[in-house]
Structure 1
Amino acid sequence: MTQRIRRIQKEISDCQKDQASLIQLTLEDGNIMHLKGRFPGPPATPYEGGVFQVDIILSDNYPFQPPKVKFDTKVYHPNVSSQTGVICLDILKQQWSPVLTISSTLLSVQSLLCTPEPNDPQDAQVASQYLNDHKAFEETARFWTECYAKPETGDFNLNGQLYGSIDSNNNSGSLLSSQTGAKPSVEPVLTAEEIEKRKKVQELVDMGFDANMARTALIKTKWVTEAALETLLDA
């Protein structure tokens, strides 16, 4: 057994023993060089209540080279690519040090959710919204958390398909996709405003637009359907 493997095993063991951090590490397909990490969204942020998964790949030169870490869970954040999950974080690049561990790296990623760096973005469009329309940014980030980090109670299952939609009697809980069989474990209590918002999202989905893009466009246009449609058509 090499020194590198022994170190990785110890890091995983130490992480499992540290219950306070709430960080979980598991091997992907039994490969100690390919891990999955999970951690909760920080409180008092749009990510609160979510559980976020990251993909971790260790090179043969670890710990002298940083791990490759990206989000598997979709995250709306200036320093995370909304398309690929790639993270812009200094310790994953030039500020890496061999004294850092996988666990401390994930704590830094978790901390990044608390303290975005919009002036050094990975996703320029999200960073622009963060700086210029912070309320819309927080609403969208919170919605993505509900969609992708809490699939059992959010509006979407893991494939991004809408459930908890509105039927003809304004009742929530109908399932648009029968392929996955995913259902919310708890039926959300909807306000009249949220019912109206879901109707508008569904209206654009029925036109063929992606549900998340539809909701984002509606947020940007203050929930004016016609303006959101123009935004989507111009995209």
Structure 2
Amino acid sequence: MQASRARLFKEFKEVQREKVADPDIQLVCDDSNIFKWTALIKGPSETPFEGGIFQLAFSVPEQYPLQPPQVRFLTKIFHPNVHFKTGEICLDILKNAWSPAWTLQSVCRAIIALMAHPEPDSPLNCDSGATFSVQGISEDTNRWPGCIPDLQPCPRRVKKSV
């Protein structure tokens, strides 16, 4: 566990230095628990997610970096590789392709890349996978992060799948 804390503290210092260098990612460590982190990531440009800000929750195991963090979206997102209820992310580096070379910051970059290049053929959210494959969801995806019940209605096609 001591090695995990040392690694996370090192990453924390790197994040502090890189705040200006990577404006698409804001990664923050919980003040009372170094194993809990949150991130705000910008939706990638030239995608349906452009202009959106998405919040992620990181739960880092005591065996980190030998084991990957658990990461999930807190912001609702209509994406084939994200579970629509739990926010769980289907990404190989968070499972069997994990390497201790990955950092929390690089995981955020990989998630942004997944947002830009979804894998609709192996969806975690089957409805979104079918929609991505068949219809394209540009309008729906742009509106979804801002959907607030009773203030801004969600698109019917999105609402049905959630």
Tell me if TM exceeds 0.5: yes
Q: C-alpha distance in 1, partners of 2:16/2:6?
A: 15
In structure 2, runs of 5+ residues without a counterpart are none
1:29 is displaced (CA, Å) by 5.1
Q: Is the 8 A contact 1:16 1:24 kept in 2?
A: no
Partner of 2:5: 5
Counting only pairs closer than 5 Å after superposition, residues 156-195 of structure 1 correspond to structure 2 as 156=148, 160-162=149-151
| Structure whose CA Rg is larger | 1
Partner of 1:189: none
Aligned counterpart in structure 2 of residue 84 of structure 1, from 75, 83, 86? 86
- Matched position secondary structure for 1:12: helix
Q: C-alpha distance in 2, partners of 1:25/1:42?
A: 16
Counting only pairs closer than 5 Å after superposition, residues 63-212 of structure 1 correspond to structure 2 as 63-134=65-136, 137-147=137-147, 156=148, 160-162=149-151, 211-212=153-154
Answering whether residue 44 of structure 2 is matched by residue 55 of structure 1, we say no
1:142 alignment partner AA: N
Partner of 1:229: none
1:48 alignment partner AA: E
Q: Is the 8 A contact 1:27 1:34 kept in 2?
A: yes
1:128 is displaced (CA, Å) by 0.4
Answering whether residue 159 of structure 2 is matched by residue 216 of structure 1, we say no
1:104 alignment partner AA: S
Q: C-alpha distance in 1, partners of 2:32/2:7?
A: 17
Q: Is the 8 A contact 1:52 1:71 kept in 2?
A: yes
Q: Structure 1 residues 130 and 10 mapped into 2: Cα distance closer, same or farther (>3 Å)?
A: same
1:118 is displaced (CA, Å) by 0.3
Backbone CA RMSD of aligned residues: 2.1
1:216 is displaced (CA, Å) by 2.0
Instruction: Name whichever structure is richer in helix by fraction.
Output: 1
Off by >4 Å, runs of 4+ in structure 1: none
Q: Is the 8 A contact 2:29 2:38 kept in 1?
A: yes
Q: C-alpha distance in 2, partners of 1:103/1:117?
A: 22
2:22 alignment partner AA: S
Q: Structure 2 length normalisation: TM-score?
A: 0.90
Q: C-alpha distance in 2, partners of 1:50/1:16?
A: 23
Q: C-alpha distance in 2, partners of 1:102/1:28?
A: 14
Answering whether residue 26 of structure 2 is matched by residue 21 of structure 1, we say no
Q: Is the 8 A contact 1:42 1:113 kept in 2?
A: yes
Q: Structure 1 length normalisation: TM-score?
A: 0.63
